[in-house]
Chains A and B, each alone.
Chain A
């Protein structure tokens, strides 16, 4: 790790002011990706602005229509929340499957989606459930938020404050873990919102994506068989020492089918 300046932000405004002052500064949320990268000297921000003690960024509220989760809410809190388990069990389950115990106790929703690791779980929840990302400046639709590998719609200096998840009629998340890292080799969130069906895939490609063909088929009939024969093209999918693009494409179908089965249970 290289030397850096550490600053604890009092509130969101204070954090934003810090970012405005130093464009190279980085926000520190749970630190589960950033600190590891800094320790390996792969990332060397001159200044860290810690959001850890800003209470307004933390907490879970459910009003029967939406579950609103503060950006600094830890994965373990989402996984254990009775409100989330009741309203969107698929979301609580997804959070319980992130990383390991230590990662879940430190990692945050806001940090995870701002980082937008191609194999992270949360992007599948945000897109699959059709959530809205709220920042200190605006509201961003899930479909407009994730732009590409490690890339989001956030402007410089923009800070995620919360994410609002509409409560679906039914939903489920199925994850096939990369066995070493426990990131998603392929993770699929299927949600029947009541109006339409959304299928979001993480881990398979450079960025979370929706499978429209599956959504349409499930819109007609919400059943495992509807997606069993829908294959996503392997072109453009991730291929590495852990899995080929072909295998990932295959897993998208298997995980989608199993997610539908689970959502129906």
Chain B
């Protein structure tokens, strides 16, 4: 019999049939009987006192069932939204956690903040009535920039943080690092901004609360990346509801990139309101709402320094970052610029000492949280811009300086807490330089020059910590949740299999990848495996999908459950074949007695488990259904090398990406096509950050200036080149699949490669992201003038 092992093959995505034929069921497609529609009244001001809200006109408008404000929420005893990660500051004090109300209480702190909700029979009635809600604002001065917010006299957002500072946190040995810098042969210093990004999943956020009087229970459909965490936070922390009476379903979800990890106020309001009016309450964000109310990403201001010896060996790194967390602490806001950022500053290198200090600051902007890469793109940008700049200053080839400093022995303990289990950084860099034909670069540069164009090349050798995370480690660092994953494998009497996973797919293709894993391990056709995700009443538990963790953590939980199924199957098979359990082996879907021709197929064992006429009842329960929780023993460490070549038009400053090579090491790969798709998407978002995306607020009024797709520039297909993508493989050492995760790599590694290439092309030391045509043109003009 042919092997059923389809791990490592590019199976076409089974979910695509329904997506491409309009069969997907997104939250907005769910149409409960008698649904009402919610429209949120949002703050037009960045900072204002609410002196009063008049809702009577709106309440009387046609079709309106209810209008609720912050007062109603407070009276109902609903708490604010919690933050899932406690950061302890340099003085041992807990971070400042101001209340994050579901609907504004007395004050608004960013444009787009929820102030009231209007619920009506139709969306248009709700919208019309929302305009009748009269909010009396006393506008206050606003501050949108992190550095400005810390200055004396800056407007204060929260009473408990009079200096607008959430925390000052640090990692590493400052004294030692400072010492090294004093005597180093060479130091490189850069100051830059990691630009704020607005996620823009193609499906906007949506939620439908539905209270059943008959069952005294709630159902919440919500566009979420982690329905169980959503339920836990909502029931235990915010609403005080019994967890078993709240059923959360995250059906098909059209992209998240982090923005759908968090519990948002809208989700709470529609759930609560559905009981108040005894009707389902539906809300779907429009794009303008998404821009001002989905959690944003990045927004760091950083001073970064690298100390080197005369041969270009890294001696120490010193980093100071101000992270703008926005007006409130979103669910995981506090850990992104600390735990997920500073711990990655070793990169792929043996830098012996590193110190990083992070100041998190409140401003009158939309809350900032994890966005594809979350902390790791910011860290990679620091490391890889520094390394490239140091190489140029010391006239060392940028690939060579990296090779001189690569970690080559594993496991490797970094000075910033992480223990890398495995990797081969030379392998990915060698492959990338070959694939990118770096040898032919000089010739191409000449050809560009002849056409009047400036050509540049840039590298980025990133590392990320994925497979989040060992719960004990996360807990010791302040996580208020566990970070394991759960899986269940239900073998039906016919031998078909339903797999329930706590991971959530919102574009990643889990239904295919996970089915490949299960089918291969059980030796059954992939068609016999069905993957179920996104439903708290079906799935035992889950921590959800983010941080490139699904295959490494969620996939492993499934594997562990599959192995339990096989173990039990061996007992049944041993009974059927009248053999000792230890003599039974399992491969390619067949249980065999070692050294004999006795065998029973998987399907027969499954049937026996459910029709147990001939069955070891004294030793075994009937049925074949197993579950497993997997808590990883370490992070996984995907890494890779990117090489980017650009051509800049000196007349306009416009950059065109001529070549982009990505060679990644994701450990074992289950489905190369899906992995390539993930890399392409990540690279495109990274290119977006470097070249075109940049959230802008008006510094005086705090108004969001990039609040639509005609002002906030997302990359389009024509903006990206045909990527050259390849992989190298060092299997992860501590999970059974040897996998590391691939979802964020592109977004993490791409910005530095691109900015290194542009600065090389135009011969400047640094350049702000996004490197728009005007930014580049000005840099060229300034260089000419100098």
Contacts and interface: CB of A to CB of B under 8 A. Distances in A.
Contact of B774 (A40, A247, A254): A247
A247 B780 CA distance: 13
B652 A251 contact: yes
B288 A241 contact: no
A180 B692 contact: yes
Contacts of A242: 711, 772
A176 interface: yes
B710 A181 contact: yes
A180 B288 CA distance: 15
A250 B650 CA distance: 12
Interface string B703-729: 001100111111000010000000000
B706 A241 contact: yes
Interface string B763-776: 00000000011100
Interface in A57-115: none
Given A243-B774, A244-B774, A179 B652 contact: no
Interface in A1-39: 1-2
A181 B711 contact: yes
B711 A241 contact: yes
Contacts of A179: 692, 713, 719, 772-773
A176 B288 CA distance: 26
Contacts of A176: 652, 654, 773
A251 B711 CA distance: 20
Contacts of B128: 2
Contacts of B712: 180
Contacts of A40: 288
Interface in B749-786: 772-774, 777-778
B692 A254 contact: no
Contacts of B654: 176
A250 B124 CA distance: 46
B709 A247 contact: no
A220 to B, nearest CB: 23
A228 to B, nearest CB: 10
Given A40-B288, A241-B696, A247-B777, A180 B709 contact: yes
Nearest to A247: B774
Contacts of B772: 179, 242
A176, A180, A241, most chain B CB atoms within 10 A: A180
Contacts of B696: 241
Nearest to A39: B286
Nearest to A176: B652
A254 B711 contact: no
Interface residues of A, number: 16
B400 interface: no
A251 B649 CA distance: 12
Interface in A212-265: 241-244, 247, 250-251, 254
A1, A176, A242, most chain B CB atoms within 10 A: A242
A180 B713 contact: yes
Nearest to A250: B777
A151 B387 CA distance: 54
A247 B706 CA distance: 20
Nearest to B709: A180
A160 B128 CA distance: 34
Contact of B710 (A2, A180, A243, A244): A180
Interface string B208-220: 0000000000000
Interface in B666-716: 692, 696, 705-706, 709-714
Contacts of B711: 180-181, 241-242
Nearest to A253: B651
Contacts of A243: 774
Interface string A160-195: 000000000000000010011101000000000000
Contacts of A254: 651-652
B350 to A, nearest CB: 40
Nearest to A243: B774
A254 B706 CA distance: 27
A250 B651 CA distance: 9
Contacts of B651: 254
Contacts of B710: 180-181, 183
A96 B580 CA distance: 76
A70 B777 CA distance: 41
Contacts of A244: 774
Nearest to B712: A180
A179, A183, A243, A250, most chain B CB atoms within 10 A: A179
A81 B706 CA distance: 37
B770 to A, nearest CB: 9
Contacts of B705: 241
A2 B711 CA distance: 25
Interface string B109-141: 000000000000000100010000000000000
A183 B709 CA distance: 12
A62 B665 CA distance: 61
Nearest to B714: A180
A170 to B, nearest CB: 22
Contacts of A180: 692, 709-714
Contacts of B706: 241
A219 B709 CA distance: 41
A243 B711 CA distance: 12
Contacts of A1: 124
A257 to B, nearest CB: 8
Contacts of B777: 247, 250
Nearest to B651: A254
A179 B709 CA distance: 10
B718 to A, nearest CB: 10
Nearest to B711: A180
Contacts of B778: 247
A122 B778 CA distance: 29
Contacts of B124: 1
Contacts of A250: 777
Nearest to B777: A247
A215 to B, nearest CB: 21
A103 to B, nearest CB: 11
A95 B774 CA distance: 26
A40 B777 CA distance: 35
A241 B775 CA distance: 12
A152 B711 CA distance: 26
Contacts of A247: 774, 777-778
A180 B694 CA distance: 11
Nearest to B698: A241
A211 B692 CA distance: 31
A244 B772 CA distance: 12
B31 to A, nearest CB: 21
B760 to A, nearest CB: 22
B715 to A, nearest CB: 9
A64 B651 CA distance: 37
A181, A243, A247, A254, most chain B CB atoms within 10 A: A247
Interface in B138-162: none
Contacts of B774: 243-244, 247
Given A180-B711, A250-B777, 8 more contacts: A1-B124, A179-B719, A180-B692, A183-B710, A241-B705, A241-B711, A247-B778, A251-B652
- Nearest first, the 3 closest Cβ-Cβ pairs linking A and B are A180-B713, A181-B710, A247-B774
30 contacts: A1-B124, A2-B128, A40-B288, A176-B652, A176-B773, A179-B692, A179-B713, A179-B719, A179-B772, A179-B773, A180-B692, A180-B710, A180-B711, A180-B712, A180-B713, A180-B714, A181-B710, A181-B711, A183-B710, A241-B706, A241-B711, A242-B711, A243-B774, A247-B774, A247-B777, A247-B778, A250-B777, A251-B652, A254-B651, A254-B652
